[in-house]
Structure 1
Amino acid sequence: MIVPILDMRFSLDSKFISIFVILLNIFIFNCKNSSSGFSKNNKFKDHSISIYREADERPIASGVLLNKNGYALTVFHAVTGYENKISVSYANFQKLKAKVVAKEFLFDLALIKIPELENEEGLELSDIIDRDKLSVGDDVYQFSSAYGLKNSLFKGYISHLNRIETDITYPQIPFIQTNGLSFPGSSGSGVFTMSGECIGIQRANFGYVVGGSVGLVIPGSFLKLFITNNVQ
């Protein structure tokens, strides 16, 4: 079962509170164990944006700022139907107006424009790598808005490099499978190596439990093609 990992509204029963506490403890543990090495790549934290729909008080998805005139990359399913009704937060900027300027259903990718971020630096095409530079077991990282917690650092690992015909909506995409990164609100976030290279964009959680942390990442080659075709 594929679960798009947008943030969801849960009833605060005891079961959910227990799950949330467990996940929060995992998050704190990961931060403590990865902050020293990953602190060298804080610029990738600065590329992370949080995405809101209309008047939402907390983000429902994530995205990556590109180094081109205020553009950012996220997933199609997070913004479709809200093309002119989204805003983003970034670094010290809160609730900046944004709009969708390009989208590709076949890749589950969307390009958004944030005029107030036109002078900010972001991800370059040269920062995005292909799967042939990756191996199963490689550590990967992301800054995302999981559970509405903006700019949260998560650490995981690659568990498969060519997961095809698993997502029935996108059987043609050879996803990179990860463990430890996929939670509600992390759709659209960039996934990076320790050296700061982007391997792709987080698409969905795989399995029957929301937040089960087995995730499918849209690979870097798809990102590069989409950016090249849509960013002027």
Structure 2
Amino acid sequence: MFSRFFSLCLVLALAPVAAAAEGPLDAWLSARAREHAAWFAAQAAGVEGQTGSLGLWRERAEGDPGIPHFVPPSSLAPLIRAVEASVVNITTVGPRAGGLEGMKKSTGSGFVLTPDGLVVTNNHVVASAQQIAVRLADGREFAASVVGRDASTDVALLRLSGVDLGKLPAVYLGDSDRMAVGDWVVAIGNPFGLDHSVSHGMISAKERVLGVGQFDDFIQTDALINPGNSGGPLFNMKGEVVGVNTAIISQGQGIGFAVPSNLVKELLPNLRENGKLARGWLGVVINDDGSNGGGERQAPLVKDVYKGSPAAAVGIRPGDRLVAVNGRPIGSYLQLLRKVALLAPGTEARLSLTRGTETQEVTVRLVARPAQEATEGLIQRTASEEEMGLVIRDLTPEVAAPLGETAWSGVLVSGVTPRSPADSAGLRAGDVVTEVNRRRVKDVAGVRAALGKGSAGVSILLRVKRGEALQYIAIAR
């Protein structure tokens, strides 16, 4: 049949038609016949990618292997059998919320981190627990105590006690940075008390910010994560844990979130040594100036350096760009904040920075993060600021969020010298300066540039946001 139709198409395509006798229908039939003849000829020759009519689509040739390096999984059973023994059920007993009498029993999930009995789970699973019991897949049960926990990342580290410790089935931690949207993942846990339930899906998004805290950096997945799954592992296709599941949006339908394993790796030494997140401090003021115009994020730009800080001690300067911490690239202020704050005070961190066209590395020893009020006087003020009696700071995301302000929408007045020109003009701590001499400003550098353009003896006109009200304040120089 195919050969007869092919022959007919060839005849129609090659048959001469007298120009005078050819009508509109004859011309159309001849054109269609030529197209069909070309298509059948290509199929017979096995031309890859040959299309139907005039290049409208492509079809793979017979025997084409398809997408390189992609092997669709036929069954996840071998992977699940290999890793499920390390997933544990956690039962806690603690006081009821809201001051109600009696004790409340709750369940969650976790996974064995080390053969000698360290277990990882969510902070909210054990936050108010007075008793913690951990049951393994083989039925063994151990009492557990909290080694350390942190609410801002929702991660907790437990220590099992009892006999038979030392050979527990521990997981492997994977590299969550290497996971890509579309990668397959498996979640194992105890949703609603149903032991060792398995769900699978893929990575739907990375670096999700949910507004839970400043360390928001969630992996989003469509693998089902329900109450009781909290604290359980999210596995990649190599059987490595790439996330700690958290049912943080319980009303979500088909949406789950997990704390990335790389964030957990950075946090665990801190929890083991300090029992909490003792935050490291670098001592820089950052302007997160977004992308470079090509869609790629730029490394954070140093706008100022605190006097006597670890950054000042190793020679970091305003204008430097911090491109990596301990070899891991950073592309935003929040990434820098997470990577530095998760390291314990006293930790040595290797920073990569660019200064102009040069790239260099420095090793800095972090210190404990000072209280916010203790940092106010650590930035060197300009002569103009001291003359006016102003202490100002950038509205970074960390500073802006507690105040209900938008980051980089102006400059926060964090202090006013008594009986200074700023004090006499009515400026107050907590005001946000949005304009200087009718010029829009969004950071300290902008204010200083605008003040530098003024003349001695000429008043400075500031536009100030105080609560929801906007007003102009003139300060005599």
Question: TM-score range, shorter-chain basis?
Answer: 0.7 to 0.9
Query: 1:21-59 CA deviation, whole Å, 9 max, x = no partner?
Result: xxxxxxxxxxxxx89334145232111001111399986
- Cα deviation for residue 129 of structure 1 reads 1.1
> Is the 1:200–1:220 Cα contact (8 Å) retained in structure 2?
yes
Q: Which residue of 1 aligns with 2:158?
A: 112
Query: 1:105-156 CA deviation, whole Å, 9 max, x = no partner?
Result: 22111111112362213024xx32122x111111100210012111111111
Q: Which residue of 1 aligns with 2:197?
A: 152
Match of 1:139 among 176, 179, 184: 184
Q: Which residue of 2 aligns with 1:220?
A: 261
- Report the Cα distance in structure 1 between the residues aligned to 2:118 and 2:215, rounded to whole angstroms: 26
Aligned runs of 1:1-232 on 2, under 5 Å?
A: 36-54=75-93, 60-82=107-129, 84-116=130-162, 118-119=165-166, 120-124=168-172, 127-131=173-177, 133-164=178-209, 166=210, 168-206=211-249, 208-209=251-252, 212-231=253-272
3-state SS of paired residue (2:216) = coil
> Is the 2:227–2:250 Cα contact (8 Å) retained in structure 1?
no
- Report the Cα distance in structure 2 between the residues aligned to 1:182 and 1:40, rounded to whole angstroms: 19
Please list every run of 5 or more consecutive structure 1 residues that lacks an aligned counterpart in the other structure: 1-33
> Is the 2:147–2:272 Cα contact (8 Å) retained in structure 1?
no
- Report the Cα distance in structure 2 between the residues aligned to 1:227 and 1:49, rounded to whole angstroms: 19
- Cα deviation for residue 205 of structure 1 reads 4.2
Letter of the structure 1 residue corresponding to residue 186 of structure 2: Y
> Is the 2:187–2:225 Cα contact (8 Å) retained in structure 1?
no
- Cα deviation for residue 230 of structure 1 reads 3.7
> Is the 1:100–1:112 Cα contact (8 Å) retained in structure 2?
yes
3-state SS of paired residue (2:215) = coil
3-state SS of paired residue (2:247) = strand
Letter of the structure 2 residue corresponding to residue 105 of structure 1: A
| TM-score, normalising length: structure 2 | 0.37
Backbone CA RMSD of aligned residues: 2.5
3-state SS of paired residue (1:103) = strand
3-state SS of paired residue (2:152) = helix
Which structure carries more strand by proportion?
A: 1
Query: 1:3-37 CA deviation, whole Å, 9 max, x = no partner?
Result: xxxxxxxxxxxxxxxxxxxxxxxxxxxxxxx8933
- Cα deviation for residue 62 of structure 1 reads 0.3
3-state SS of paired residue (1:228) = helix
> Is the 2:189–2:196 Cα contact (8 Å) retained in structure 1?
yes
Please list every run of 5 or more consecutive structure 2 residues that lacks an aligned counterpart in the other structure: 1-72, 95-102, 274-477
- Cα deviation for residue 179 of structure 1 reads 0.8
3-state SS of paired residue (1:223) = helix
| TM-score, normalising length: structure 1 | 0.73
> Is the 2:86–2:170 Cα contact (8 Å) retained in structure 1?
yes
Higher relative contact order (CA 8 A, sep 6+): 1
Query: 1:59-103 CA deviation, whole Å, 9 max, x = no partner?
Result: 621001012520100000110111x41101102234421111211
3-state SS of paired residue (1:213) = coil
- Report the Cα distance in structure 1 between the residues aligned to 2:242 and 2:220, rounded to whole angstroms: 11
3-state SS of paired residue (1:114) = strand
- Could you say if the C-alpha distance between residues 188 and 214 of structure 1 is closer, same or farther in structure 2, counting changes exceeding 3 Å? same
